[in-house]
């Protein structure tokens, strides 16, 4: 599949290919595969979360804030 890249993006791909001793097409294929895998996983998680909400398993805003604070505070972050 032919693809046109903006010059700056092409420069970055070429630089990465040079640094990793690979062909630019190989770099692009690997990057695209990783991005697609991430996108599919993200969409699956969103669908699962929406299904939980549809089943009434969600939490309200205050409970979400409480849980986030509890998870963050042990790591020294200010809330």
Q: What percent of the chain has pLDDT over 70?
A: 96
Tell me if 1 is assigned to some domain.
no
Confidence of residue 74 (pLDDT cuts 50, 70, 90): confident
From CA 61, how far away is CA 11, in angstroms rounded?
Answer: 44
The dihedral sign for the CA sequence 21, 23, 28, 31: negative
Instruction: Convert the pLDDT of each residue in 19-42 to its tens digit.
Output: 999 999 999 999 999 999 999 999
pLDDT at 28: 96
Tell me if 11 is assigned to some domain.
yes
Provide DSSP, 19-67: HTT--HHHHHHHHHHHHHHHHHHHHHHHHHHHHHHHTT----HHHHHHH
pLDDT at 2: 84
Tell me if 36 is assigned to some domain.
yes
- Residue 37's domain comprises 7-75
């Amino acid at each position: 599949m032919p693809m046109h890249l903006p010059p700056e993006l092409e420069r970055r791909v070429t630089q990465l290919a040079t640094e990793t001793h690979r062909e630019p097409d190989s770099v692009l294929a690997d990057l695209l595969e990783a991005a697609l895998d991430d996108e599919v996983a993200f969409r699956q998680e969103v669908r699962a979360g929406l299904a939980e909400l549809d089943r009434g398993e969600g939490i309200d805003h205050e409970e979400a804030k409480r849980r986030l604070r509890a998870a963050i505070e042990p790591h020294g972050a200010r809330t």
